[in-house]
Chains A and B, each alone.
Chain A
Amino acid sequence: MRVIFSITQITFLEVVRQRFFNFLLLLALVFSGSSLFFQQFNFGSSELKFIYDLGSGTVLFFGTLLGVLLTAQLIFTEIENKTALTILARPVHRLQFLLGKFLGIWLLMWVFVLVVTSLLGVILFFRESALLHLTPDLFPDGRHTRYGDLLIFGLIQGVRLGVISAMTLFFTALSRSTMYAMVISFMGVMICQLQYIAQEATLAGRSWFYSAFLQIIQLVFPNFSLFNTSDLLVFPSGDALSMTSSWMIMGYGVLYIGVLLGLAAMIFQQREV
């Protein structure tokens, strides 16, 4: 355990010192800037929903980018600069090495989600207060925003980014170059994201062979549309996402993380560094 956490700590520290937070700050500025910019059009209470979409979109898009790029880059740097050699030449299991790395990256992902989500909460709160003051008749029952949902949103997205990192780790263990690992991982994420298409196609029921193929894809790749819950949270149009469903989605993600890390470790065990 100590070994794993030492690797986690050093991974985290190294990335933070690589100006990770500068990137985060920049992103936060762009996001707040754009929500302020759209403020001038003043489209009433739907503006809040718009800000929320902007924020959740930021987490989805940049989170995915960060998850894939950071994971692939970190592992390959480690192999290229011989650090992996010096770590594995000690009494350290390869599984410990991978777990340590993964936890370090995942921690960074959580920081990312935390920062953007909190910022989103703060911006929503201030804008809603302002709108309440300006156009009270649009808010007959007081505040619209379900701020508690932001927490659930953050949790689910954190788990989702964990799945992305674990998947990238798996593809990285298979690849020989950073570029290859990144491209393959992005394709993997894409497939996961588009799972619902496969699902619909299976239901539409083409040929026997085709639907068997789709079913295998559905089994092997996690279904990311499950994580796309932002429309059911904060400003739900219909029923909000229940607590039970939220936990189930997170459990589903954690399960996939476990499986992917296990597979990555098995491949990495065979690999010559």
Chain B
Amino acid sequence: MAEIPAITIEKLTKEYRLGLRGFVVRAVDDLSLSVPTNSVFGLLGPNGSGKSTTIKAILGLIRPTRGSLQIFGSSSSSIVSRQRVGYLPERPDFYQFLTGRELIHFYGKLSGLADVRLEERTNEVLHQVNLVDAADRSLSTYSKGMLQRIGLAQAIVHDPDLVILDEPTAGVDPLGAEAMADIILALKAAGKTVLLCSHHLSQVEQLCDSVAILYKGRCLVQGPLEELLERNAAGSIRIPHWSPEVEQQALEALKAAGIPVEGVRMDRGSLEALFLEHARKGGRDR
């Protein structure tokens, strides 16, 4: 028997009606996809391509114009479908005057955690997102990256089987993005399913098992990342300690072996890689 997918979307269309004259924006157009359990699924595409709209429809926060949506087999319009889901919205702000710990407590209670278990889970997730030190500070003192991480913590406090993250790394520095990636991989290792949405294609490339790329509400391609990228794969060889002589030798060796070369590119390394290297030496942020 085939396993029930974490998310099933069938022919979803969502139209927003603007103003009284009924000008219609079609945010999502005939989208069908299915997210298998225990995988990281990337919903990708530029701004305004309908990613957030799709996510809100999955969570029953907006009603689809047409089509049907299910979470673990139960319809998105029912409350039960939301029992095993955690959600981090795009650019969350949360309550300014609560502390991180109070916020996580609150969301844990909403999802039915109580007493010892609530206490335990709160500490666990605060630890997981590396906010133990800041847990008793007011959220108004949090940086952008910290807010995003506390947002992730509230999404996973009740140990959901499906975690939906809308642009988790938007406005977050490279270190923060890396921390976020680590947590996502840990979730997958723990058997969870993650739906990740981002306009930053390269950032999530290493994370996703499968992707769907949206553009203007339509799905351009979808499938396992391996398969999609294999179609136009090209290899590259990195050579340290570059010099023109080394280049000459390398090209000749390749030529002798009968391997065609498309081009040679000098790679200065990226600023981001440089920063990450130094930051790792310099210890974690606060």
Report A's interface with B, CB cutoff 8 A. 2-3, 6-7, 9-10, 13-14, 17-18, 80-83, 85-93, 272-273
Contacts and interface: CB of A to CB of B under 8 A. Distances in A.
Contacts of B102: 10, 13
Q: Which of A2, A9, A17 has the most CB of B within 10 A?
A: A17
Contact of A10 (B60, B95, B138): B95
Interface residues of B, number: 35
B94 A83 contact: yes
Contacts of A93: 79
Contacts of A2: 109, 112, 114
Given A6-B110, A10-B106, A89 B95 contact: no
A272 B80 contact: no
Contacts of A18: 96-97
A17 to B, nearest CB: 4
Contact of B110 (A3, A14, A81): A3
Nearest to A100: B110
Given A85-B56, A89-B61, 11 more contacts: A2-B114, A6-B106, A10-B106, A14-B95, A85-B61, A86-B92, A90-B82, A91-B112, A92-B79, A272-B56, A273-B61
A92 B94 contact: no
Contact of B80 (A6, A88, A91, A92): A91
A82 B63 CA distance: 18
B153 to A, nearest CB: 12
Interface string B121-147: 000000000000000001000000000
Interface in B64-114: 79-80, 82-83, 85, 87-98, 102, 106-107, 109-112, 114
Interface of B: 56, 59-63, 79-80, 82-83, 85, 87-98, 102, 106-107, 109-112, 114, 138, 151, 154-155
Contact of A91 (B62, B82, B138, B155): B82
Nearest to B16: A272
Contacts of B87: 85-86, 89
Contacts, number: 84
Contacts of B85: 89-90
Contacts of B151: 86
B59 A81 contact: no
B98 A90 contact: no
B110 A85 contact: no
A93 B80 CA distance: 11
16 contacts: A3-B110, A81-B92, A82-B89, A82-B90, A82-B91, A85-B56, A85-B61, A86-B88, A86-B89, A86-B151, A87-B110, A88-B59, A89-B85, A91-B83, A92-B79, A273-B62
A7 to B, nearest CB: 8
A22 to B, nearest CB: 13
Closest 6 CB pairs between A and B? A81-B93, A17-B97, A89-B87, A82-B89, A272-B62, A6-B109
Contacts of B97: 13-14, 17-18
Q: Which of A2, A14, A89, A91 has the most CB of B within 10 A?
A: A89
